[in-house]
Structures are given as C-alpha cells and as structure tokens.
Structure 1
C-alpha cells in the first residue's frame, strides 16, 4: 500500500494511493496514519481501494506519518559522503535527533533560517517503526518496520558544525524535514537496501546514489538503536545520504531563496520544494 496524509497543515486526513495513482480517502476507517494504525496494518490491507471515496483535485500532501514520537537520524552512513565531508566512517552509527517540529509535507517550501548562509540538501531513505522494538536482533529487525519513504534531511551547516554542541540545531529548523510523499508499506519494498536515489537543484543533478552503499543498513540500524532505547510505532528513522551535498562541493554551494529542490527514491515517489527566506 501507498499511504498518505493530505489536506491543510495540522488538519491532514488519511488516504491511500490506488493502483491507478488516484488518491482515496481513509477517514471512515482510521483517524490518522500514525502509531496505532502502523502497529497493525492488516485492516487497511483488507480494504478494496475501489470502495474508498475518490479525492478530487490536487490537495496538499502532508508528511506521510502523523504524530511522530521520535525522529532519529543516522550521520555519515555512506563512506563516500563521509569522505566528501572530511570525516572518517564511524566505527558505530552516528545518531542524532531531528526535532519533530521540523517535519513538513514533501512539497512544502524549504524555509531558509534568518541569517543562514549554508542551508544544504540531503536525500535519504526513511523508515517507520510499526512494532515496538527493544533489544531486538538483526534477524528479528525487519518485522518491526512498517514501511519506507523519502526524506530530505535539510541541514544548516554553520549551525551544525561551526557553532559547537550537537548537530541537532543545524538539522531542526522549521520545514527541515520534508517527509513523503507516501509511506510505502514494507511488503511492497522487498529490497530497501538496494534502492536508487537522486536529488536535483534547479534541474541539475547533485546526488545520485543507492541505498546499497549504506555502511549500516536497515536491519542493523533497527537492532542497534533498540539496544539504547525502545522504538515505538510511529518513530521514524532517516538513514543517511550519499555524496553530492553542497558542503562537499569545491567551492561549497548552498541554497538560496528561489532555488528548486527535487528528489526521489525508486518506488517511493518524489518531492519538490521551493526555497524561501523564513520570516
């Protein structure tokens, strides 16, 4: 299934994309695409999409997961991205938080923070927990994943690396977490560790890679994270980015108002954002 949330920000409704690519409403069946629903997707899987109301027009798409509890990110998870960042591949995954107030729809604008000169892009594979995970093994891990989606891990590099402290303040500005367009359920993504991914700025390809080159792949990440804290249904994890970010270019290149960012992952859809200066 391809599950979506659509409508005005803060008032999104649950929906489903049918085999013809049409949006259908799920409001009669679930309140939201969020933790309790993700813990048991079988009632939605049993529905005949043809019986669901069609949604007319082209409504705004919200983030494909609602009421997110934790937004966990993995840093330097592609060896070639680590190299372009001037950093070594870590002996264990780098974990940082992206605060949930950064989450927005896949086509909402990127808001460049006041005074920012180094706002950057990162196409990433995201996944959402569907079954509570605590001290799980790698062999058990995939049973705890509900589905996958595209994330743009928008980053302000000066805030992240030049102003001391943890990375989160450079990762969590408003609209720094475009998520979606769809949540593709795990049964439709048999090889999450072998997906092509891409990102363009103003039509120019900046990133072109594959999840196959991740250092730490999805089963390991679920198991690893669950050793430190419990993962709950609705928690989302963003798994890192391939090379081609603005920080790694010579000279570095960053986003400015009016730039258009497009990105996608095979089978998971695409996003499009126009950059704006934040008020």
Structure 2
C-alpha cells in the first residue's frame, strides 16, 4: 500500500537525488502516519519500501543495524554499489529464516525495496529496486533506468501501487510544462504524488508525502511537509503530524509552490 519514488532532480547547476513516498499502512484499517523512508547510519543512502510490512519493517531495521555495526560500511569506505549487494544478501537470508508458515501459504514476500544514494566510486547518484523473483525464489535487483526520450536526462524509479496511473499523470504534467522530450526532472514527480494523495480516490495510498534529499556531498536530509497545505499550518515529518509544541530543524515543503521554508525564510 504505497507509491515510492526516487528521481534525479536537475535544475540549472543543481543536481540531487530525491526519494518520496506516501504515509499509509493498511491492516484492516488505514493508518496515515507511518514512516517508509529510512536514512541508513552512513547518511549517504536511504532505503524505502512498498508492500507487505510484515517483511519490510524487520528487514529495514536489520539493514540499518548491519550498516551501524560494520566499520567500512559506516565510514563509507565501502561504496553504495557494494552496500547494495550486502543488503541484498541480508534480505535473502532473512527471508530464508521464515518458518512455520500456515499450510498453503508460500514464503514469497509481496514487498519491494528501493535503495538510493550517492556513489563516490562512480561519482553519480545510484538507485536500485530490490524485488522478489518467484522464478529463482530470491530477491534480486534492477537499476533505475532513464526516462524514454531523446536526451536520457530523466531518471526515476517507481514502485508500489498505481504505477500506471502515476506514469500517465507524470507524462501529462511534463507535456503540460513542455518538458516531456527535453530537460531533467525538477519537482514534477512529487507534484504528481501530491495530487494523487489529495484526490482521495486512491485507497491504497494516503497521508502526507514523505521526502528525503540526498546531496553530492554524501549527505541525506529529511524534509517536512505542510499538509494538506501551508495555510493549514500543519506540518508532517516522516508522515507524522507534529504536535503543537514540536519544532523541527528541517526544511518544510509548501506542497503548492514546492519551495521550502526554514526559519521563516523561503529557500531552495
């Protein structure tokens, strides 16, 4: 019950990797304040999930723990391209250890994981989708591909529900902005997610958008969101609405202008 995204934002000299998702979990009810993006302890990479939380939450916690206790991973001496393989092996080993399933229930996880971050080895942003392949009975990965078009400047990974609706909306928005065949993404992927959440007609997604930016200086930073709009004054971070007395050091997105507010000033 998710839409999860990772795209490279390219505007003039700005280039950054953005990961975004909704905040809804479903288990016979709807819970719209649940974190789905986790910054790994090395702080240059994130992991995000879509699908069955019975698998996703324990696996993400173990991924965070694995990075925290491994000196070379924690210090970034091992690049994210090597980290991805390590996390994939952890994932498959954890799934192998599931046992005593009810009769007739197979151990084929309905979950996908998005790993994204900055690679110092390749001097480029990288993202991969980790997905379960029933033909080999294991999780495997595929890299993010470029957007179909003449320039290859657009790069986005999409996983979860309503992928086809999402793509159609994104294409329509890019066409409206005359950006379908040229240039890179700005905040269009987040604008589409915002509109789908506001529509209220997609039952499997909900809550405020969650956003994390990853920068070339090997740092990931979460952002809050005024939700459902800035006028409401309500701020959500990681999907959870802040309490009245809570403050945040993070930038807060205005979902309509896609600018951020920090210390009462508008910043990029």
Q: TM-score, normalised by structure 2?
A: 0.27
Bigger share in helix: 2
Q: TM-score, normalised by structure 1?
A: 0.26
